[in-house]
Amino acid sequence: MKLIIIGAVAGGTSAGAKARRGDESLEITLYEKDADISYAACGIPYYIGGITDDIEDLIPRTPDDFKSKYNIDVLIKHEVIKINPEDKTITVKNLIKNEIFEDHYDKLVVATGAFSFVPDIQGVDLPHVFNIRTADDAKALTIFLKKEHPKKAAIIGTGFIGLEMLENLKALDIDVTIIDNDDKLTPHLDQEMADLLYEKLKHKAIFMKMEATTKRITKTQIFFDNGESLKTDLVILAVGIRPNTRLAKAAGILLGGTKAIKVNDKMQTNVEDIYACGDCIETYSLITRKPIYMPLGTTANKTGRIVGDIITGGDISYRGNLKTSIFKIFEYTVAMSGLSMKEATEAGYDVLKIRHTARNKPKYIGGEKMHIFALADKKSNRLLGVQIIGQEGVDKRIDLYVVLMTYGISFKEFFHIDLAYAPPFSNVRDAIHYTGMILEGELKKNDETK
């Protein structure tokens, strides 16, 4: 049997590796239009900031590695330009030789990923304007920084990549302004947590221009729709990504309501013997069971593994996700999982909302406050969503909350969880315990007022 995979980053390479482990007799070919495969896109801001000075650190595997370890042929600089489901072929363009040929498959995996959204702004094609998505993007920006030595940068967009780039450009002694047409930072944070992050960044003497719509970019300035302007010699576009579905749509593969490829829990599309995984597909919420588009490296790897398992006779099913995310901005860690307040109310939950602070360990041993925002369902007492901003211990707590949400454990049980305690690591009553106790107290107040 011949397996062809279109795309060789997180989803595609995971699918290929798992398929090989499941069936040594498979003939597996991966086609990738770019020069690099399996690169760590999430690490790009840290390469730009000089934390790692070798781009190869972000590219842990090469086509030769895949051939020697998995007996998988990875053809880079080969763009699949058409899928022909009727005769189970694909049309491929060799970008090096400028030649076109066809290849046949028995099973096909679409792992075409996503692309940076480029807003309709005059000047986005200027040489000092960059997207941050691929290894090539990282290389191009690094060359520009070394050659032009920009002093002022503007980042349009305040999602994860935008704020990570903020920190890493500041590390290069570049003055940075972040710009967003929304009234709050980070689309996935609720307003009060976004406001808290805003205040903390203000203390860093960072200029944040909110509710500002960029109309035009020139070599030295950005112009806004209200007539104001900003001087800059570097612009980073960080306004999100979109699923790369052109090939799939042209082949008759159905897209979901999110405009990403629609798959079932086995990663099967509506077309026989064609699967999809990674950033080009829509998944669904573990809580609401409704379709969502939340492209994350963790999800891409997981869905790729499921594809490889199913194709070789396995039975893993996708169970949904919580959109769990975390990023670092200076000394702060920002993490979130589950539903926002808006999402929870729109889904019809009777929401219990709390916000509290808890130290990651005792103050006398250097403990720092974590600001915790939690949502729960009054009826089932299940946790619906959590957002945390703090300096230490945030990663540990968000992962614990994720486990509690994943398995639907009532917040009334949080107090009874036997967590590890010693002063260098935690308080005798952890943030997890307090969240459960405070939610239980709020629920009791609500019951008493009825």
* Residue closest to 117 by CA, chosen among 334, 327, 248, 293: 293
Percent of the chain with pLDDT over 90: 86
Residue at which a domain ends, from 265, 281, 311: 311
Q: Identify the CA nearest to 235 among candidates 158, 161, 152.
A: 152
| Structural domain contains residue 437 | yes
pLDDT at 450: 64
What is the number of structural domains in the chain?
Answer: 3
Looking at residue 204, its pLDDT comes to 82
**Is pLDDT of 42 > 90?**
no
Instruction: Specify the pLDDT at position 160.
Output: 87
Q: Of the residues 279, 311, 343, which one is the last residue of a structural domain? A: 311
Give the DSSP letter of residue 270: S
Write down the pTM of the prediction: 0.93
* pLDDT at 198 exceeding the cut of 70: yes
Indicate if 280 belongs to the active site.
no
Contacts of 443 (CB under 8 A, 6+ apart): 352, 376, 378, 381
> Mean pLDDT in the chain?
94
Sheet of strand 221-224, all strands in order from the earlier edge strand to the far edge: 214-217, 221-224, 229-231
Q: Are residues 125 and 173 in the same domain?
A: yes
pLDDT tens profile 89-121: 999 999 999 999 999 999 999 999 999 999 999
Q: Give the distance between the most distant pair of CA atoms in the chain.
A: 75
pLDDT, one tens digit per residue, over 358-408 is: 999 999 999 999 999 999 999 999 999 999 999 999 999 999 999 999 999
Q: Are residues 109 and 125 in the same domain?
A: no
* Per-residue tokens: 435: 């969240």
382 and 407 share a domain?
Answer: yes
Query: 325 pLDDT exceeds 70?
Result: yes
Q: What pLDDT score was predicted for residue 79? A: 97
Question: Where is average pLDDT lowest: 195-204, 328-337, 360-369?
Answer: 195-204
Q: Are residues 307 and 353 in the same domain?
A: no
- Over 90: is that where the pLDDT of 41 sits? no
Concatenated DSSP letters for 376-427? EETTT-BEEEEEEEESSSHHHHHHHHHHHHHTT-BGGGGGG------TTT--
Backbone CA torsion sign across 152, 156, 159, 160: negative
Going by pLDDT thresholds of 50, 70 and 90, the confidence category of residue 37 is confident
Which CATH number characterizes residue 196's domain?
Answer: 3.50.50.60
| Model confidence at 59: pLDDT above 90 | no
The domain containing residue 298 runs over which residues? 2-42+57-115+241-311
Check 35, 40, 42, 316 and give the catalytic one: 42
**Contacts within 8 Å (CB) and 24+ apart, 260-266:** 260/293, 261/110, 262/291, 263/303, 265/317, 265/318, 265/319, 266/306, 266/310, 266/317, 266/318
Tell me the sheet residues that pair with 31: 6, 75
Token code pair at residue 120: 């309709």
Q: How many angstroms separate the CA atoms of 83 and 103, rounded?
A: 10
- Looking at residue 133, its pLDDT comes to 87
Same domain, 299 and 190: no
One domain, residues 352 and 206:
no
In a domain, 316, yes or no: no
| 218 & 247 share domain | no
Q: What is the pLDDT of residue 397?
A: 98
* Residue 321 tokens, joined: 């996700």
Give tens-digit pLDDT for 259-276: 999 999 999 999 999 999
- The reported pLDDT for the residue numbered 202 is 86
pLDDT band of 286, cuts 50, 70, 90? very high
Q: How far is CA 31 from CA 7, 110, 114, 176, 348, in A?
A: 6, 10, 16, 38, 44
pLDDT band of residue 448 (cuts 50, 70, 90) is: confident
With contact defined as beta carbons under 8 Å apart, do 414 and 405 qualify? no
